Amino acid sequence: MVRYADPGAVEWVESGGGPLIAVPETVLPFWAGADGDETASDYDRACEVDGPVGLLPVGDSAALVFGDEPASTSYLPDHGTFVRWCAADSEEELLARVPAALATAEWGQEVRWKVPGTVVLFDSAWPGQETERTEHLRVALEPGAYAVRAAQVQPGPETWLGLVQLRCLPH
């Protein structure tokens, strides 16, 4: 099994202060970020999401918005979970506590997210077509419907993390 703390094993995405967003690759060109002539940009819509996660329409699909705080975020495919680094002395400590955090999490209300396949996690202020120019993470997902749930967990005295778990739903 891969140890996530090995160099290069986990790639973290950070934001400039606003929410992170996971947009299906097929609709990236439709995400305008903070750009646009409209009164409310896509970025403004993302900032209005109340709670740890929410969905916003993008093209003929939906994007998953990571609300609450702009914590560094990565995806751990073995757990089907986005992990948000709120507080920890080291990446190794944070990742070592993920299994305990998953086991003790008090999950919030689920949202249903239908994805056409791979999504891209990035700072919601960026236009989708420019993700290659900023920190981003491609997350390979099987096309289908997912139940998405979130939790804030303190698995250690100095360790806090956010969890956003994806569970594939039957067809």
pLDDT, average across residues 48-69: 94
14 assigned to some structural domain: no
8 assigned to some structural domain: no
pLDDT at 68 over 90: no
Residues 161 and 44: their CA atoms lie apart, in Å, by: 25
Handedness of CA 107, 109, 114, 119 (dihedral sign): negative
The pLDDT value recorded for residue 170 is 87
5 assigned to some structural domain: no
Q: In what helix (H) or strand (E) does residue 147 lie, and over which residues does it extend?
A: strand 144-156
pLDDT at 40 over 70: yes
pLDDT-derived band of residue 146, with 50, 70 and 90 as boundaries? very high
1 assigned to some structural domain: no
75 assigned to some structural domain: yes
Domain that holds residue 90: 20-168
pTM above 0.75, yes or no: yes
104 assigned to some structural domain: yes
Residues 30 and 100: their CA atoms lie apart, in Å, by: 38
Q: For 117, phi and psi rounded to 5 degrees?
A: 145, -140
Q: Which residues contact 127 (CB under 8 A, 6 or more apart)?
A: 31, 32, 33, 35
Give the pLDDT confidence of 81-124 residue by residue, as tens digits: 999 999 999 999 999 999 999 999 999 999 999 999 999 999 99
pLDDT-derived band of residue 9, with 50, 70 and 90 as boundaries? low
The pLDDT value recorded for residue 36 is 67
The pLDDT value recorded for residue 5 is 47
pLDDT, average across residues 131-135: 89
pLDDT-derived band of residue 69, with 50, 70 and 90 as boundaries? confident
13 assigned to some structural domain: no
Structurally, the chain folds into a number of domains equal to 1
The pLDDT value recorded for residue 56 is 97
155 assigned to some structural domain: yes
